[in-house]
A and B are shown apart, each in its own frame.
Chain A
């Protein structure tokens, strides 16, 4: 697998770093410029494009420099779907709230990092900082890419908004990093607590053999054993494992009450659950529990019956019942064409954009890195996932983690929330250095 990843980065290097100044954003910007000019000459005829921005001061707006946000995420390669979710979330926010904050237009500079490619991420960030002079760096689906960019954020004093990457350590790597998504320990600890509370005494853990898998396994074990449960065995499987049969058979022999899994969503999660179903482990009374990535909304539709009944913990489900979420889903469908369901990454993009907008508002449109970071600390948002806030100490997100079960609804499979843990901080943070 490593060989393939390596190939990926080698072969996809050439295409990297092409600026993808999004036609829509640029178009909107131009449209508003025209609208502004027209408005100046012809008083009332000009309506702002797509009704996006309520233009209270049309002529002045056209000359104020835009707020530039550099969005770094994968838009090609195996993680292309993640990038599209994040961009969709960001655009959904702009669609609902307008693309103008404190009189300044928001301009997105979208960059394709192509995959796990720290070197590409770094050079893209460099370009965004030096050449484009962006006000915010944002996006970041994959931890290695975020870690590569963090030192640049410190050096350039640019706020860096993490919209997905979920390893605990990222926020400690620069005082300019703020995270609106989640961390893996943050969602795996409540799962262990829930399992222990609900009469599950023995658990078998199966995780993919890479850093997030190890994180999930470690946190689950720690919390579950502290709550009096027993982890009967733990196995790590290759990240691209073609056949789960031998592992499933081991689990079947061990007869635990539940099996905790963390594998990449999509083909791996589905393959595990199918093999699990085929061998009748569910009939034997073994419950599958997992972090919500495994049954994330975008992939859930294609997982089929095998996913039914899986219990997961996560911070967002498309089935979350709130007016904010309904509005979010509508806007997401509008900007992406409605082909895919928004998942937690889209919400990360939406909330990241919301946080940036709030900070710009607080500062009255006058930006600098340190003041922006001060404004991020303690920020509270009514997100499509529920209420969230940014911990002023760690700059990491504090939120409700929901316990959900996969159920069949008329329009497909959904993670239906049935329990929740409020005010969850990231338990994986290393203690603050003295």
Chain B
């Protein structure tokens, strides 16, 4: 395969990493909650999509907005009932709580859907490969790349150029002063958490086709979420995108050119990047 093919596959894989991790970049990065249950929210999105297609006969693409809404609703609920109690708790408490929540989610998913994997039916126009300029490009992969561009532009705009974004950044930096200035801190946090959960759910649904969906999903890909967010730098959408693309490219290139070492490339790169940029590529708290 020529070099360009590797680059495309790398970008596509990086896009997938971005989609499943960007929600965590918001909850962990912006809100400073170590939310190891991110995978559970992603898995919830995946199962929602499967359920909507199976029980309601909705086409896969139509389930995506509904999955986002459901993810946001569950996220907001979880924030109000559970996570808000942990904002001032130590990181260890947050870790223990959220990993516990993850195990519960795994058990619940097994109870309702059984331990076997689930699948979704892609529409015909998203399947197979298309030939563009002499390159065979996976159609679904291209679709993911496009979505990533859309989502990262929209998110960056939201966080950096809107009133809500400003309020959120202020509230994260100093809750008391923000509250004193009249920012509805609680509501802002709740909305931000809902946003992160919605993105997690969306990533989970979009990932089914490539990663599959089983109850252990919530744990299996946790390493990748954390890897992307820690390399990207807490709370930066652009950093997350850079990190996901860099890791995706190197992973695919490594696996293609040196398959004996392929699996380690992504971790080696993480070590190097974190040594060079301890706060992540675009870390705010350097």
Contacts and interface: CB of A to CB of B under 8 A. Distances in A.
A278 B255 contact: no
B116 A246 contact: no
Contacts of B127: 278
Nearest to B255: A246
Contact of B1 (A76, A252, A299): A252
Interface string A195-211: 00000000000000100
A209 B262 CA distance: 12
A411 interface: no
Interface residues on B, range: 35 or more
B276 to A, nearest CB: 23
Nearest to B107: A76
A235 B1 CA distance: 17
Contacts of A3: 223
A267 B259 contact: no
A247 interface: yes
A267 B114 contact: no
Given A246-B6, A247-B259, A279 B136 contact: yes
Interface stretch (A53-61, A237-245, A367-375): A237-245
A250 B256 CA distance: 6
Interface in A389-403: none
Given A267-B117, A274-B209, A243 B6 contact: no
Contact of B117 (A236, A242, A243, A302): A302
A249 B5 contact: yes
A84 interface: yes
A280 interface: yes
**Binding site secondary structure of chain A:** helix
B44 to A, nearest CB: 17
B117 A80 contact: no
A280 B136 CA distance: 10
B118 A302 contact: yes
Interface of A: 1, 3-4, 7-8, 11-12, 76-81, 84, 209, 235-238, 240-243, 245-247, 249-250, 252-253, 266-268, 270-271, 274, 278-280, 298-299, 301-304, 339-340
Interface of B: 1, 5-6, 9, 12-13, 16, 99, 103, 106-107, 110, 114-119, 121, 127-129, 136, 138, 140-141, 209-217, 219-224, 251-253, 255-256, 259-260, 262-263
Given A242-B211, A340-B114, 8 more contacts: A4-B220, A4-B222, A237-B262, A242-B16, A242-B224, A249-B5, A279-B138, A303-B119
